Amino acid sequence: MSNTTGARTGDQFMADLNDGREVWLDGQKITDVTDHPALAGSVRGMAGYFDYQHAHADECLVPHPETGAPMNISHIVPKSAHDLATRHRGFESLARYSMGMLGRTPDYVNCTFAGFTGRPDIVSMNGNEECYENLVQYHRLISTNDLSLTHTIVQPVVDKSVGDVEGINGDLALHKVGETADGIVVRGAKILATLGPFSDELTVYPGQPLPADTPPEYALSFAIPMNTPGLKTLCRDHYGVDGPVADRPFSSRFDEQDAFLIFDDVEIPRNRIFLDGNLEAYNRLMTHGWVGNIMQQTSIRARVKLEFAYELCVRMVETVNGMRPDVEQMLGEIWTYAALTRSVTRAAEADAREFGSGTWFCDEKPFHALRPTMPGWMVRTNSIVKDLGSHNLLATPTRADLDHDEFGPLISEFITGAGAITAEERAEIFRTAWDFAGSALGSRTELYERFYLASASRMYGVNHMIAQREREWNLVPTFLA
């Protein structure tokens, strides 16, 4: 790493990515992702996130508790309502960098690991104290070096008629296959490492709880550098474009690149193992506080994105002077989703409490309600962008069209906005809207919103289970009596 003195700059982030990792894109093996023309804009976009934290240091950085060097707020192990308020301010600022379009900026996994580190009561259980110490050291490493992390926690299920690690699914899912003098060997696959090619480290931690009779080989949590031998990163098609920001404000910078990971007999050093066969800790870690911790970050990001979408839609309507009652209704609908999201975050923060070992997380209940609901709001918001934008989303000259000596004046005359709005302003608004909801990246991001916290259907089912455990339901017989 180029830096051990706290929050990195974009240049430092880029320098550290050239580490000989094995990344595959469209049949091509890439070892330096900073040098690939298709990825260039997105790498610079991620570098911009690191510069942004310095430009907004008052909100995004705090002194590291041990070294005093600047540290991203997402590494705070929250111990009070004040810590959660500090994180809130930072998460909101960081989300504004991409207006919520980047879902997996490093603060997402950082926040998760800060939460895990604050829970020795869970990670150390069943004689796992040594591995908990590994976690403490790892948290020190990532917070002092400001590393960029990806995570894969979902099993690569190919046959949905059996359990996630049963039958063929069990053969394919990541599991331990051996021990060495220095660690363990793992084999299998995991989905889906968003930011994988642009991360320093891969983290693996529990996803859905595993059934009690699951072989212990599947109950794993660890972290390794992305250039670890045997780790293969298969990128989906890249939707970023290396073009002017003015033409494609999101696609030119913010494709966070999802990837499928194959572990082809990968050795995990002993000091990087956090859970190895400890099924009880594996199943408790995600069900006792994780939601209250991580959803502070995700709900703030979602609200920033919805507020941006609201304003973008208002500006689209103003550009064509199209305000009518049905349009007002659609605009109010997006604002309502943003306001509800803000209320959920506030309620969860207001009822924050100590969850164990002195660590504070937000109340989980409001987030349980938001988790399966938000995907629908995001999909509906994109649909409104398209309804309001109509053909205007495609009648959108580029910067080069506008600047052209011969053609530019005709565009200024024929593709202009209502009232005093110029052709240039009109193009800017509708190009932004298309890139937000309709471009290849816009579609991918909609899929992300549908699934990044597990499918809505699954989570509604979980909420029913929570409701059944919460209390006895006697309202109907009480009323009828």
Ligand X SMILES: Cc1cc2nc3c(=O)[nH]c(=O)nc-3n(C[C@H](O)[C@H](O)[C@H](O)COP(=O)(O)OP(=O)(O)OC[C@H]3O[C@@H](n4cnc5c(N)ncnc54)[C@H](O)[C@@H]3O)c2cc1C
Q: Which residues bind ligand X (CB under 6 A)?
A: 104, 151-154, 157, 191-194, 258, 444, 447-448, 451-452, 454-455, 457-458, 461
Given the complex with ligand X, which of 192 and 427 has the nearer CB atom? 192
Given the complex with ligand X, which of 434 and 448 has the nearer CB atom? 448
Shortest Å, Cβ 190 to ligand X: 7
Q: Are strands 23-25 and 220-225 parallel, antiparallel or unpaired?
A: unpaired
Given the complex with ligand X, which of 380 and 444 has the nearer CB atom? 444
Shortest Å, Cβ 103 to ligand X: 7
Q: Which amino acid is at 86?
A: T
Report d(CA 463, CA 469) in Å as an integer. Answer: 10
Shortest Å, Cβ 155 to ligand X: 8
Shortest Å, Cβ 467 to ligand X: 16
Q: Which amino acid is at 235?
A: C
Half-sphere exposure of 301 (CA within 13 A, CB side): 20
Given the complex with ligand X, which of 191 and 327 has the nearer CB atom? 191
C-alpha 362, offset from chain centre: 18
For residue 62, list its beta bridge partners. 71
Of 141, 139, 150, 240, whose CA–CA distance to 192 is shortest?
150
Shortest Å, Cβ 153 to ligand X: 4
Alpha helices in 390-422 (DSSP H): 399-403, 408-414
Which residue in the block uniquely carries the two structure tokens 């309600």?
369
3-state secondary structure of 224: strand
Per the structure block, which two tokens stand in for 143?
A: 């917070």
Output the CA–CA distances (angstroms, integers) from residue 469 to 69, 465, 466, 472, 476, in the order listed: 45, 6, 5, 8, 18
Given the complex with ligand X, which of 335 and 452 has the nearer CB atom? 452
Given the complex with ligand X, which of 24 and 335 has the nearer CB atom? 24
Shortest Å, Cβ 270 to ligand X: 24
Shortest Å, Cβ 87 to ligand X: 21
Report d(CA 33, CA 229) in Å as an integer. Answer: 17
Per the structure block, which two tokens stand in for 316?
A: 């689209």
Shortest Å, Cβ 460 to ligand X: 8
Given the complex with ligand X, which of 209 and 358 has the nearer CB atom? 209
Given the complex with ligand X, which of 106 and 417 has the nearer CB atom? 106
Shortest Å, Cβ 61 to ligand X: 25
Cβ atoms of 169 and 157 closer than 8 Å: yes
3-state helix, strand, coil in the chain (%, to 5): 55, 15, 35
Q: Are strands 353-356 and 70-72 parallel, antiparallel or unpaired?
A: unpaired
Given the complex with ligand X, which of 451 and 473 has the nearer CB atom? 451
Shortest Å, Cβ 352 to ligand X: 26
Residue 65 DSSP symbol: T
The gap between the terminal CA atoms of the chain, to the nearest Å, is: 70
3-state secondary structure of 268: strand
Which strands form 231-235's sheet, in the order they lie side by side?
28-30, 23-25, 231-235, 259-269, 183-190, 175-179
Report d(CA 364, CA 369) in Å as an integer. Answer: 9
Given the complex with ligand X, which of 36 and 104 has the nearer CB atom? 104
Q: What is the CB neighbour count within 10 angstroms for residue 26? A: 10
Shortest Å, Cβ 444 to ligand X: 6
Q: What angle do CA 390, 396, 398 make, to 5 degrees?
A: 160
Report d(CA 314, CA 316) in Å as an integer. Answer: 5
Given the complex with ligand X, which of 327 and 379 has the nearer CB atom? 379
Question: b/e map of 361-398 (b: 16 or more CB within 10 Å)?
Answer: bbbbbbbbbbbbbbbebbeebbebbeebbeebbeebbb
Given the complex with ligand X, which of 319 and 382 has the nearer CB atom? 382
Residue 106 DSSP symbol: T
Shortest Å, Cβ 239 to ligand X: 11
